[in-house]
């Protein structure tokens, strides 16, 4: 036999010899000549035995691996039992956390509030009742067969009828007891027959930034009723400017809590609760801008409770009044401010434009063009500051001392406040 590296030598070979040499080197016995099979070395017999053993072992392995007889049924049965066990385990899992338990305890106290108004057809003179908006509300009291719901004033504003929808879909007719535009709160009365739960008031002053809170309500209407979102208290004592008549002038600053729990249209009037299941805020609004995300706002319950009580008792919030109409000094052109004869360093305050006859201001000798700069020692920069002091600090019958500039002179005036819904 020749090595592969000797195949190119000049020694003459027969084609048969060449074939034999090549066949032994590359181990392709099928190319061998039949004339030489008898002259093979004895070790070729061992190769045959090894090949036969390989076939036997291979056949044995195939037989063992292929499912036959009862083995197949056994494998399928075991697999089926295993799958059934897994399925039963998934179905039997009951996950309870502090949050799910809190939500379950409060959900029945959160309702949907639908504002219904009459729609008049000009051509046919027909009238139909039409839904003009949907918000949320919280049942906070049950007494003498009646239940009371707190919601936002803007949810019920202009309503001719109110429809209350419970979490299970049951509906009840609502009656508006009263609403307050300035605090955006309203109270509704319903029959207590279907009421299952009442929310408990918490203490919003005790809240901490970062504390977990849960918002429950009906974002985008009753189709998403009872929606639950989770967040934290992002900030306390936020003051948000409000323009009621959309004239571009701030009319009021609303004191609110800030949360990153998702609050959307329809959540208005819904519950903001803590992990004790207590109502600590009434969801009211959100800041909606392309560059803003996760700023929801709620009325702190400690500020809401006095308003709720007044609405229950009187149907309105009776506030003190001075009996004047006012203009912000900053809105008066500089050329016209000359008639006020103010010192050069006085650039902020509120100008009295008109005094109502027989009003507290009239009795205290307040005059037109007086410029109010201080009330009870508190600096008054504009009408918003004046309104907040008058509405949030003072009560009907209280005495109030204010400082005004008149003809360039600083005067102090004292008056006794009476009730009314204007300045």
pLDDT in tens, 286-302: 876 667 778 899 999 99
Q: Given a cut of 80, is residue 368 above it in pLDDT?
A: yes
Are 205 and 176 in the same domain? no
Do 206 and 308 have their domain in common? yes
Task: With beta carbons less than 8 A apart as the criterion, state whether 267 and 220 touch.
Answer: no
Whether 291 and 214 share a structural domain:
yes
**pLDDT computed for residue 33 by the predictor:** 37
Inter-residue contact 382 to 328 (CB < 8 Å): yes
Domain boundary, last residue among 191, 213, 246: 191
210 plus 310 within the same structural domain = yes
Query: How are the residues of the chain apportioned to helix, strand and coil, as percentages rounded to the nearest 5?
Result: 30, 35, 35
Q: Active-site positions?
A: 154, 184, 268
pLDDT band at 119 (very low <50, low <70, confident <90, very high): confident
pLDDT of residue 212: 94
> Which of these ranges, 6-10, 179-183, 323-327, has the smallest mean pLDDT?
6-10
The 10s digit of each residue's pLDDT in 157-197 is: 999 999 999 999 999 999 999 999 999 999 999 999 999 99
Q: Is residue 271 part of a domain?
A: yes
- How far apart, in whole angstroms, are the C-alpha atoms of residue 114 and residue 129? 12
Residue 124 lies in a domain: yes
Q: What is the CATH number of the domain that holds 372?
A: 2.30.42.10
Tokens 């004191």 sit at which residue? Answer: 255
Query: For residue 219, is it within any domain?
Result: yes
What is the count of structural domains for the chain? 3
Position 257 in a domain: yes
Structural domain range at position 361: 319-420
Mean pLDDT of 340-360: 93
Percent of the chain with pLDDT over 90: 56
Q: Is residue 210 part of a domain?
A: yes
**What pLDDT sits at residue 266?**
86
Among 107, 118, 114, 116, residue whose Cα is nearest residue 151: 114
- Which pLDDT tens digit goes with each residue over 376-404? 999 999 998 998 899 889 999 999 999 99
Domain's final residue, options 314, 345, 372:
314
> Do 230 and 301 reside in the same domain of the chain?
yes
The pLDDT value recorded for residue 62 is 59
Residues 112 and 184 in one domain: yes
Specify the CATH number for the domain of residue 145. 2.40.10.10
Closest to 142 (Cα-Cα) out of 104, 185, 191: 191
């Amino acid at each position: 036999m020749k090595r592969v590296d000797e195949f190119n030598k000049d020694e003459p070979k027969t084609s048969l010899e060449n074939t034999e040499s090549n066949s032994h080197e590359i181990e392709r016995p099928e190319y061998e000549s039949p004339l030489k099979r008898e002259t093979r070395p004895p070790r070729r017999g061992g190769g045959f035995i090894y090949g036969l053993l390989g076939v036997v072992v291979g056949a044995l392995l195939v037989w063992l691996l292929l499912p036959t007889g009862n083995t197949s049924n056994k494998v399928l049965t075991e697999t089926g039992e295993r799958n059934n066990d897994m399925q039963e385990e998934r179905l039997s899992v009951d996950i309870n956390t502090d949050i799910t338990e809190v939500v379950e305890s409060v959900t029945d106290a959160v309702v949907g509030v639908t504002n219904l108004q009459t729609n008049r057809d000009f051509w046919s003179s027909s009238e139909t009742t039409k839904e003009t908006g949907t918000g949320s509300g919280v049942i906070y009291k049950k007494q003498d067969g009646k239940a009371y719901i707190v919601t936002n004033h803007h949810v019920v504003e202009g309503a001719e009828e109110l429809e209350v929808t419970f979490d299970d879909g049951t509906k009840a007719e609502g009656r508006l007891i009263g609403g307050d535009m300035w605090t955006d709160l309203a109270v509704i009365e319903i029959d207590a027959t279907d009421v299952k739960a009442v929310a408990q008031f918490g203490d919003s002053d005790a809240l901490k930034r970062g504390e977990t809170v849960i918002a429950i309500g009906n974002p985008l209407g009753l189709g998403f009723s009872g929606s639950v979102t989770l967040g934290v208290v992002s900030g306390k004592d936020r003051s948000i400017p409000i323009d009621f008549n959309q004239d571009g002038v701030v009319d009021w600053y609303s004191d609110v809590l800030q949360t990153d729990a998702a609050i959307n249209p329809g959540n208005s009037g819904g519950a903001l609760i803590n992990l004790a299941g207590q109502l600590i805020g009434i969801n009211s609004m959100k800041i909606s801008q392309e560059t803003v995300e996760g700023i929801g706002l709620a009325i702190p319950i400690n500020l809401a409770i006095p308003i709720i009580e007044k609405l229950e008792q009187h149907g309105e919030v009776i506030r003190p009044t001075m009996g004047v109409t006012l203009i912000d000094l900053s809105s008066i052109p500089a050329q016209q401010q000359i008639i006020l004869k103010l010192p050069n360093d006085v650039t902020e305050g509120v100008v009295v434009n008109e005094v109502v006859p027989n009003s507290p201001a009239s009795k205290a000798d307040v005059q037109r063009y007086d410029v109010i700069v201080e009330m009870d020692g508190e600096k008054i920069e504009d009408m918003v500051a004046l309104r907040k002091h008058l509405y949030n600090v003072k009560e009907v019958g209280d005495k109030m001392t204010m400082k005004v500039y008149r003809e360039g002179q600083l005067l102090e005036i004292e008056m006794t406040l009476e009730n009314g819904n204007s300045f």
